[in-house]
Amino acid sequence: MGINLTNFLSSKSKMTKMIDFQDLDHVDGISISVANANLYNDIRDDVVMFYFRDGANYASVYTQSKIISENIKWNLNQKCKKVFSLIVNSRNANAFTGRQGYQSLQVIAELLSRNLTEIQKNDEDIPKKINPKEIIFGCTGTIGEKFPCDEIVSQIPNLVSKIQYTQNKFIWMKAALAIMTTDTKPKMAMEECKIGNEKIKIYGIAKGSGMVYPNMATTLAYLFTDADLSNDLLNKLLKKNISSTFNAISCDGDTSTNDMVTIFSTAKINHPKIKNINDKKIQSFDKSLNNVLLNLAKRVVSDGEGASKFISISINNCKSEDDAKKIGFSIANSPLVKTAIAGQDPNWGRIVMAIGKSGVNLNLKKLTIKFGEVIIIQNGKLSENYDERNVKNYMKNENLNIIVDIFTGSKNFTVYTMDLTNEYIKINSDYRS
């Protein structure tokens, strides 16, 4: 697609790095290991292990699909306050695999917990016995295929032997690459902020390219911070910020069985205690978390299957945010809108169609539609200055902004999506090959 992510995702924050390939470095309390379990029958890495030597507080949001993968069932069944490891595999979703899929996770967790317990004995002054329930999973790939338990089991000793307590940009890159399926590029983001006078890191990786319409994306996103935040606070912060980030994107309107976004806190920075989400000392962290989530979410859309355009759809001045969402996603998920944009056809009538079918009450006498700065509809009528050539020229850009003003209230929402090209059909007609 060739989007200039450096400009596209730029931030004015001096403590922000939002270039294509970021120099994510060290977060205390984490070890990252990557291995090739031959799930793709080639040399690429396909399994990642994150090990939290002192455990990590965590919070997750998951797909709202009524059919969920076995790893999400496993994660939901674990009630531990801390986790010691996250294991992620690509190529196989472990969805619709039934008892075999779930029991495979039990086998892997039991083996990994024994191996990590031995590492604790060797490396820690006060070693901990790690329980299988203190391990969670991420899976992504094809639905309905037998879960490759033996292949992943064979790599557990390898993953554990690679444990190192200092990370660098190369291991983060390897991890981001290993969780990819149809993605064409790894997705990483980072922010630094302060709690009190202490510098805090927030790092994140994600994957997602197709089957992306999260409702909490196949989308996985994992965030890591050295802040000392409770599970309850992490949960509230994640749910607060997921709405305008991962729940504001759609590649193709399809929700995966495996979607999950998880944040881990290693509690390695001794900063002032945060008791609740309204504490002013958490404001900088809150903003930075949103930046990381939105950065990753945009990277997912920009790398959508077959995408040639990145599209921001801003719905403004609605009676409610829910109304703005309905209109935004009605436009974003319309195949007619997406194909017109792919063909650079200024067929604004399809935008009008999508607004109408959203079911939201409108004030047609005030409706305004713009492509970038080009006004198409003003006060419910075709603009007197409308010139289709201006819209056609604008649609040649890779990054497009569609702005719709409803004028029924003061609530806004922005949806991020992509166009629909022949390449999308090609990829998904041959997905399992």
Instruction: List the catalytic residues.
Output: 218
Contact (Cβ atoms closer than 8 angstroms) between residue 108 and residue 156:
yes
349, burial (CB in 10 Å: exposed 0-12, middle 13-18, buried 19+): exposed
Contact (Cβ atoms closer than 8 angstroms) between residue 248 and residue 295:
no
Cα–Cα nearest to 75, from 202, 215, 222, 182: 222
Enumerate the β-bridge partners of residue 404: 315, 369
Please tell me what DSSP assigns to residue 142: B
Q: Which two tokens stand for residue 74?
A: 């496993």
Residue at 230: amino acid letter: S
Q: What is the DSSP string of 290-355?
A: HHHHHHHHHHHHHT-TT---EEEEEEEEESSHHHHHHHHHHHHT-HHHHHHHHTT---THHHHHHH
Note the Cα 221 to chain centre separation in Å.
4
